[in-house]
């Protein structure tokens, strides 16, 4: 899933502007996207639409998985 999130984010902002950290805790996997402060608006989108779209695509991709994935977008 990290690769999918990386691909989606790289289509919006350049790779030097973000880092992705993946942490697994039992049945939950947290994917944290750390974005430069000046790029936060681009990755979140108007009214959070882009962030919601990224989360929706990830949820659709892991539908058959027994793990739940959380996508968290923060400043670095």
SS (H, E, C) the chain: CHHHHHHHHHCCCCHHHEEEEEEEECCEEEEEEEECHHHHHHHHCHHHHHHHHHHHHHHHHCCCCCCEEEEEEEEC
pLDDT digits (tens, 9 = 90+) for 49-74: 999 999 999 999 999 999 999 999 99
User: What is the total count of domains within the chain?
Assistant: 1
User: Residue 58: which CATH number?
Assistant: 3.30.300.20
54 is in which domain, residue-wise?
2-75
pLDDT tens-digit series, residues 3-59? 999 999 999 999 999 999 999 999 999 999 999 999 999 999 999 999 999 999 999
């Amino acid at each position: 899933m990290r690769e999918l999130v990386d691909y989606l984010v790289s289509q919006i902002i350049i790779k030097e502007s973000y880092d992705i950290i993946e942490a697994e805790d039992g049945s939950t996997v947290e994917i944290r996207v750390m974005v430069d402060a000046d790029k936060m608006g681009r990755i979140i989108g108007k009214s959070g639409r882009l962030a919601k779209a990224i989360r929706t695509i990830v949820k659709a991709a892991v539908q058959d998985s027994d793990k739940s994935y959380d996508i968290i977008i923060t400043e670095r």
